[in-house]
Every structure is written in structure tokens, then in C-alpha cells.
Structure 1
Amino acid sequence: MDQPFVIKAQNISKRVTLADETLEILSGIDLEIKKGDSLAIVGRSGSGKTTLLGLLAGLDTASDGAIYILDRDLSNMDEEERASLRAKHVGFIFQSFQLLSSLTALENVMLPLELRGDSHAKQEAEQFLERVGLGDRMAHFPHQLSGGEQQRVAIARAFACKPSILFADEPTGNLDTATGQNIIELLFELNRTEQTTLIMVTHDESLAAKCHSTLRLESGRVSI
């Protein structure tokens, strides 16, 4: 039996007004992605990749069209409702890592679990740090970790929350080639084992090729 669509976007457009000019960032975007699939959003700088990622994640609202996450129409939800949906079902990995410098690796992974009231936050965090190979670095602060290790903490934090959907914005952009390759393998391993739907923005064609499907943008439109 076919898996239901986790995300469905219909005729998405995004416009912003600057002074007396209206700038069209995205136009007429359609996509569908099923549970456990992976999608790469690719294109040149300024093509609208990160804007589309933000719309799909409910971080921003479309000017036209409809986006459904787990059968819920984002256009019919206010920011509080979208935030609640993200907290329950969505994870994020950014190239800037976005770890809290005053917290250890373990505490960074525990924090979102504690915020949602998980009574086993410490055990869950330890388990995922072990899975990303940082079992001996849990007490270290971000400044004591390499870039690759910090990204592993960010990945552990994202997957520990067991999101239905994981959004990644250039997850290997700040890493050297060898470290980036390790991060890629880890992402796809967890995508398979946890059946987490993975949607990523990347400029790396070899990374995009590992995904089930690719959406290529050019000047805000889907390029065939």
C-alpha cells in the first residue's frame, strides 16, 4: 500500500515588497514527498532554495498556494499552531550548527527533549550521542569540539526528538570533504533506520544524487 504524503505543496509562490518594487522569489512550486523519502532542493545561489525550505517547514508563509504537513494545511494555522506542529513533528539541521555555547553536548541534545516534557531526556540524549560516535565527548562544550563533532551533536539533537520530518540547510557546508562525507552517511543511515523524511537544501550534486528525488530551482521556478 502506498505511503501517505508527509508534505504536499500546491502552486506555491512567495513575493516580498521592497520599497516600491515587488520581488517574486518563488513561483508555481508543486511537490509531494512520502514518509521516509529524501528530497534534495538544489539550484544556484539566489534561486529560492532556502526560502522554499522555510515555507515547507512552516517558518514562513506562502503568498499563494497551499502546503500540507501530515494532512494539516499550514495556511489555516496561526504562528502558535505552526510552532506547536514543528515542536511535535519537525527537526532542523543548519550548517551553522546552532548549538548553545553554555551547554555541553549532552545538555544541547537534552534541551528540546526536556522542553517537551520527556521524562527520559538524559537517556535518549546519551543514546543518540553514542549513535553519532560522541559517547566520549558528551561533557564537552561546543568550543571544545571540531566542526564535524558539532554537526554530529546537531544531528543527534535533531534525531533524538524523533521528528517525522527533518529539514537540513546545507548540512555539510562548513565542513571539510572527509568530515562532510561522514555526516552525509550518518544522515542517510538515520533517515533509513528511523524512517524520518529528509528534505535538504544543498549545492552538492553528489549529495543530491543520494536522495530519492531532486527538486531543481532556477530563478524561483522548478527547472526540468
Structure 2
Amino acid sequence: METTSPVVVSASSLNKTVAARSGALTILSGLNLEIKSGQSVAIVGASGSGKSTLLGILAGLDLPTEGSVALAGTRIDQLDEDERARVRGQHTGFVFQSFQLLPNLTALENVMLPLELAGHKQASMRAENLLSRVGLEQRMDHYPRQLSGGEQQRVAIARAFAGDPDILFADEPTGNLDENTGEKIIDLLFEVNREKGTTLILVTHDTLLAQRCDRVLRLHSGKLEEDL
């Protein structure tokens, strides 16, 4: 008997408006979305179309103006920041375009930090294994300023997978990288994603990256259209 994967991220009647000089600016309008466990989903669209805003709302980093958002079975739009952080910590990892590594921590310490905050008893060993997994076994004691853009992004990916997240969000994971390094990062994302069975939701301008996903959702005029 065929089983149906559960929905792990959903949005209903989602709206997001922000203040602008000319008045309220609508970024997302009446948006509905369901993503099932294990899917890889690319969100594409023109610059300024609200892709990163949508990703942040789905991940619980931001709140919608109206509508509901559920993450891993929990409605998060009605939670305060501490409660949303708890849900994120239990279920999600996040790869930012700007890497967001702490400059005064080594690569190893950057990956260890979320593990230590979660009370992981073997944080150092797990962080070392993850950094080796992304090919940085010789760079663990280096600080972000001593690493190339591609190396920093690999540290960010190792950190994002540190807590074995159910859902990985990635905002332009290849946006600051050259083509060759970007392709390696794409391969790495999907390889680790496949091994862990993680749901992958990413924002990208990278056509190659989008084509490798199970679904491509195009954001246009605040609404999503699926490429079939």
C-alpha cells in the first residue's frame, strides 16, 4: 500500500505588507503552499519579488501580516520569538547567502556552537565529522576570514546539518560563489540531503540548482505559480 508523505511546511492565505514612503507595500498576497516531507523545492522569481521574505516566514524567522504558517505540524505565526526559536531548533537548519559565520570562532567552533546550545554531549566529535564530510578536515582551526567563499559556505552547510534538521532552508546558497564552486555546493547540498532524507526548501536565481529540485515554485506579483 502506497503511503503519503506528511506535509511539513504549509501556508494559508498568507499576506505580507511593509511600510513604504508611498504607503503600505504588498510583498506576498493570498499565498497558499504545502510542502511534503522529503521534497526538494526551489523558489524562484525576479529580484525583489519577496523570495527571501517568504523563506523567512516559512522558517519562522519572520511573521506574516495575515494568514497562517505551520512548520513540522506546529502553527508558528501565533507564537512569540522564543517559542518560534524552540520550534526552529527542533526541526530546521538554515543556510544564509551571507554565510553568517561568527568571525571570532573557528570553523570547528562555528559548527559546534548550535550543538553546544542544544546540549549535545559530543559536540566536538560531531562537528569534526561534519566538517570532514564537507571536505574541510584541514581547515577546522581556521577563522572565517582565512577561508574562501566556498569554504565558508561549506562551514555554513555543516552547521545547518549539525542538528539533523527535518527541514533545511537555504537562501541563495550559491549566490556569492563562482560557477565551479557553486556546482560543488549544489552537489553537496543534495548529497547530504539525500543521505538524511531532509526536506530542502531553497531560494535561488541558479537555474541549474532549481532544475535539480522536485518542484519549482515561481513567485510573481506576491503569488506562487508551480512550474510543471
TM tier relative to shorter chain = over 0.9
Q: Offset at 1:19?
A: 5.1
Q: Offset at 1:88?
A: 1.6
Q: Offset at 1:213?
A: 0.4
| 1:13-162 pair list within 5 angstroms | 13-18=15-20, 21-162=23-164
Which of 193, 210, 214 lines up with 2:195 in the alignment? 193
Code of the aligned partner of 1:86: R
TM-score (structure 2 length as normaliser): 0.95
Give the conservation status (yes or no) of the 8 Å contact 2:60–2:77.
Answer: no
Cα distance in structure 2, aligned partners of 1:84 and 1:194: 21
Once the two structures are superposed, residues 76-128 of structure 1 have per-residue CA deviations (whole angstroms, 9 ceiling, x without a partner) of: 31221101111121111012111111111111100110011101100110111
Give the conservation status (yes or no) of the 8 Å contact 1:12–1:30.
Answer: yes
Cα distance in structure 2, aligned partners of 1:185 and 1:100: 25
Q: Offset at 1:171?
A: 0.4
Cα distance in structure 2, aligned partners of 1:105 and 1:17: 38
| CA root-mean-square deviation | 1.2
Cα distance in structure 1, aligned partners of 2:93 and 2:223: 26
Helix, strand or coil at the partner of 1:26 = strand
Code of the aligned partner of 2:91: H
Which of 179, 188, 197 lines up with 1:177 in the alignment? 179
Helix, strand or coil at the partner of 2:140 = coil
Code of the aligned partner of 1:201: V
Identity of aligned residues (%): 59
TM-score (structure 1 length as normaliser): 0.96
Helix, strand or coil at the partner of 2:194 = helix
Q: Which stretches in structure 1 are left out of the alignment for 5+ residues?
A: none
Which of 203, 208, 219 lines up with 1:217 in the alignment? 219
Code of the aligned partner of 2:188: L
Give the conservation status (yes or no) of the 8 Å contact 1:48–1:219.
Answer: no
Q: Offset at 1:18?
A: 3.0
Moved over 6 A (4+): none
Q: Offset at 1:20?
A: 6.3
Once the two structures are superposed, residues 36-74 of structure 1 have per-residue CA deviations (whole angstroms, 9 ceiling, x without a partner) of: 111101000111101100110111111222111111111
Q: In structure 2, what is the equivalent of residue 203 of structure 1?
A: 205
